[in-house]
Amino acid sequence: MNDKNVYCYKYPRPAYTADCIIFTEKSEYAEVVLIKRAFEPFKNYWAFPGGFVDINETGYDAAKRELLEETGLKTDNLSEFGVFDTPGRDPRGRTVTVVYYTFNNEAAINLIAGDDAAEVKLFSVKNLPELAFDHKKILQKAVNELIYNIQL
């Protein structure tokens, strides 16, 4: 890399991630697709499918890519839910995530763990495992705003 492509900024730059909330309605309560993290941080905790946005892609494209890599699910029907940027939400450093969601009643059919997901499965929003990062708060907000007003 030559010097004209190297930038030095006075202010630190946060990492940019994209996460997916995939809801289904296969039971009395909505279910959500979660992956079990294969690596630190939060190894063996459950989380939304997602990851870092590559330099040459949009957040939307990163969300679709990560969803496919980690769960085997392919969709072109994601909607932006919100931006989550609380300092300290990721122990690796300052990280801002854009969360996307969709409703997919076929999600249980073809879930295949891949990439950095050790496992993938559906959980009732009323019976969740311990979640990584700030995903429990994000999921509570999504359930309240997108489905119905319940307490997890």
CB atoms within 10 A of CB 24: 18
Is residue 52, in this structure, part of any structural domain at all?
A: yes
- pLDDT mean over 13-42: 91
| Total-model pTM | 0.89
Residue 79 corresponds to which tokens in the numbers above? Answer: 């909607």
CATH number of 138's domain: 3.90.79.10
Domain that holds residue 35: 13-147
Is residue 24, in this structure, part of any structural domain at all?
A: yes
Q: CA-to-CA distance for 34 and 123, rounded, in angstroms?
A: 7
pLDDT in tens, 49-77: 999 999 999 999 999 999 999 999 999 99
Give how many domains the chain has, as a whole number. 1
- Pairing mode, if any, of strands 117-124 and 79-84? unpaired
Is residue 1, in this structure, part of any structural domain at all?
A: no
**Higher per-residue pLDDT: 11 or 98:** 98
Is residue 31, in this structure, part of any structural domain at all?
A: yes
Is residue 8, in this structure, part of any structural domain at all?
A: no
Share above pLDDT 90 across residues of the chain, in percent, rounded to a whole number: 74
Is residue 4, in this structure, part of any structural domain at all?
A: no
- Contact between 139 and 128 under an 8 Å Cβ cutoff? The reply is yes
Indicate which residues carry an active-site annotation. 119
Is residue 3, in this structure, part of any structural domain at all?
A: no
pLDDT in tens, 106-137: 655 689 889 889 999 999 999 999 999 999 99
Is residue 152, in this structure, part of any structural domain at all?
A: no
- Contact between 24 and 105 under an 8 Å Cβ cutoff? The reply is yes
In this structure, what DSSP letter does residue 54 have? P
The alpha carbon of 27 is separated from its chain's Cα centroid by a whole number of angstroms, namely 22
